[in-house]
Structure formats: C-alpha cells, structure tokens
Amino acid sequence: MVKAKKVEVASSNVGAYQQAKMSLKPRIREFRFSLYLMSKSLLAMIGLVIVLVLVFIAIFAPVLAPGPPGWIEKNPMQIPKDFESPKPPGSPWGAYMQGEGTFTFGSGSLGLDIYYGCVWGARTSIYTAVYVVIVAIIIGIVIGAIAGYFGGIIDEIMMRITDVFLSIPGLILAMAVAAVLGRSLDNIMLALIIVWWPPYARIMRGQVLTIKEGTYVEAAKAVGSKKMRVLFRHIVPNTLSPIIVNATMDLGVVVLVAAGLAFIGFGPPTGYAEWGRMVADGQTYFLSEVEYPAGSGIFYNPWWIWAFPGMFIFLFVMGFNLLGDGLRDILDPRLRR
C-alpha cells in the first residue's frame, strides 16, 4: 500500500503540491491562531516590540550610528573616541574624532562615544545570545533525547554528568571556565555554553520520557523505522515547545550573565562595543565629578557612562523575558483554548 502511494505521488506533481498544501494547512492555521493569541496579550506584545526594536537597532547600526567618516569601514565594533574627559549628553565631538557630530548619550573614559557603543553593542549582545542558546540547545537536545529514549545505563551516566554541571552556580562555573581559557568574547561564549546545555538536556529528557510511550511512536516503530529515525524524526519535533519558551527567556538571561562576566573583567577590553564592559567603565567614574566645558567651573557626575548601557541591558533582558512568558501561555496546550 505504501508503494502504491509513492507511485501515485511521483506520477503527478500537482498531486504532490496538493498534498503538501493539505499537510501545511493545519500548521498555518495553528500558527495564525498563535499570532492571534499573542496579539491579545499586552505584555507579550510589549516584549515583542522591544525585541524587534533591538533587532532593528542591531541591523541598522551603520545607519543609526555611523561614527566619524570612514570609521565603520575599519573596525566597527571599536567605539570611536576623542581622548578628552567625559562630556555630558549632547556635547559636540572633540577634535580627535575628525568629524562633525554630537555625543547623543555623552562620552565616557577616553572620550568613548556612549551612543555608538550602545547601538553597536546590540549586535554583540544578539550575536552572543543567539550563538550560546542555539549551541546549548543542540547539545542539550541530543544528550537529553538519547538519555531519555534509551534509558538504563546511558541515561544514568548522562544525567550524572548534567548533575555535575548543575551543582556549580552558573555565573561561578562560567567564571572558572572563562578564567582558565583567557579573556575574550569567544571564551565567554564557550563558558556560557558549558553552563547552559545541562538544563536543556534535563527538559528534553523529561519530554522524551513522556512522549516515547505515545501511540504514534509505536506506529513508527511498527513500520520498522530505525531507532534514531524514530527519535529525531518523530519524538524530538514534538518536544520543542518548552524548549522554545526556555530559549526565548534564556536569550535575555545569557546577555545578563555575559554582561556580568564582562563587568568583572572577562570579555573584550575597554573600547569594544559591549554593554557590560561599558557599565564597568562607568563605575570607575562613579563618584567623581567632571568639568564641562573645561575651565567653566560647571561640574557633572558622569552618570550617563553607566546608565545608558545599563538601560540597554535591562531592556534586552526584559524584552525576551516578556516574550518568553507570553510564548509559554500560547504554546502550552493546556492553556491554549
């Protein structure tokens, strides 16, 4: 019977198209329903808007913050600076910047342009978050799925390994790994991946354990599918909702922890467009006063150095958190209708 169906499909492309359309239809309907549910949740929409704005900022960074002429062609992730002492928001660039412009968010240590750093820092953050979460999910899914599906000694060994990683508080584990590997953004990401995969392995294992007894899994086995095919073709795709919800929230939390690590002194040095590092630079000026314009006798506390990048971190984490919360309500079948 299976054979007959194959022949039929092969004989007519129209048939295949129709079939694909038919099988897609319920998915599209569900997707549209999800969008509808989401549009009804105010907080989720706020989260979505924040996330979209940040993605927009990251994509259009060259337009939003071009820096001095010719700057972004050289090394865009380095923040331009005028080597003068910090200036409040709205003051003009110093002579060293070789261009006309203002420090929209003020300038920091060495005269770093805070606005430029905030805008381009969105790229650093999104890149870090997406990279860490995706790699962690892939590792977690593979290990969790295998442990849950095969059970027995494999399960036992794999779960004890995740226990080990879960028994060290996340930030401290990341710190130890990053310290040993050396200070750079890549090493922070590697350290964060090591911290982030075990929870995914746990979630995945739990999901597989509940789903593997399902009738459709038995059906797949009955027609003679290989174990790996059953696992990654029939079980794994049906376990992804909680993973997606967690991943969305984690995109924010990764940036939170990465910024914390950068704040202590891991990660790229001062001058790189990274929010955590920028806040740390602000701390060095924390209780001091700067005079602007020079010789005028007007003093400011340079709060802008840490407040603007801090606000970006906060918004980033909050956006993904709200979106994740909203997605949980939408994707949870028990709450869905």
> Which residues contact another protein by CB under 8 A?
160-161, 163-165, 167-173, 175-181, 252, 256, 259-260, 263-266, 276, 279-280, 282-283, 286-287, 301, 303, 306, 310, 313-314, 317-318, 321-322
Nearer to another protein, 174 or 230 (CB): 174
Whether 229 and 143 have beta carbons less than 8 Å apart is answered as no
Least CB distance to another protein at residue 195 (A): 10
At 118, the amino acid letter reads C
Least CB distance to another protein at residue 150 (A): 20
Residue 102 bridge partners (DSSP): 92
Least CB distance to another protein at residue 325 (A): 9
Least CB distance to another protein at residue 250 (A): 12
Least CB distance to another protein at residue 176 (A): 4
| Contacts with 159 (C-beta within 8 Å, 6 or more apart), sequence order | 147, 202, 205
Nearer to another protein, 161 or 240 (CB): 161
Whether 276 and 267 have beta carbons less than 8 Å apart is answered as yes
Length of the chain: 337
SS3 267: coil
Cα maximum dimension of the chain? 91
Least CB distance to another protein at residue 253 (A): 8
Residue (of 264, 146, 246, 248) closest to 203 by Cα position: 246
Least CB distance to another protein at residue 109 (A): 15
Residue 144 bridge partners (DSSP): none
Give start and end residues of each alpha helix (H) in 77-214.
114-150, 152-166, 170-181, 185-211
Nearer to another protein, 80 or 260 (CB): 260
- What does the alpha-carbon distance between residue 203 and residue 249 come to, in Å, rounded to a whole number? 14
Nearer to another protein, 175 or 330 (CB): 175
Share of the chain residues as helix, strand and coil, in percent rounded to the nearest 5 = 75, 5, 20
Nearer to another protein, 70 or 265 (CB): 265
Nearer to another protein, 204 or 259 (CB): 259
**Residue/partner pairs of 298-304 with CB below 8 Å, 24 or more apart:** 300/88, 302/86, 302/88, 302/106, 302/108, 304/86, 304/88, 304/89, 304/105, 304/106, 304/114
Nearer to another protein, 200 or 266 (CB): 266
- What does the alpha-carbon distance between residue 211 and residue 213 come to, in Å, rounded to a whole number? 5
Least CB distance to another protein at residue 273 (A): 17
Nearer to another protein, 230 or 245 (CB): 245
Give the chain's count of helices (H) and strands (E). 15, 4
Least CB distance to another protein at residue 184 (A): 13
Nearer to another protein, 18 or 301 (CB): 301
- What does the alpha-carbon distance between residue 315 and residue 309 come to, in Å, rounded to a whole number? 10
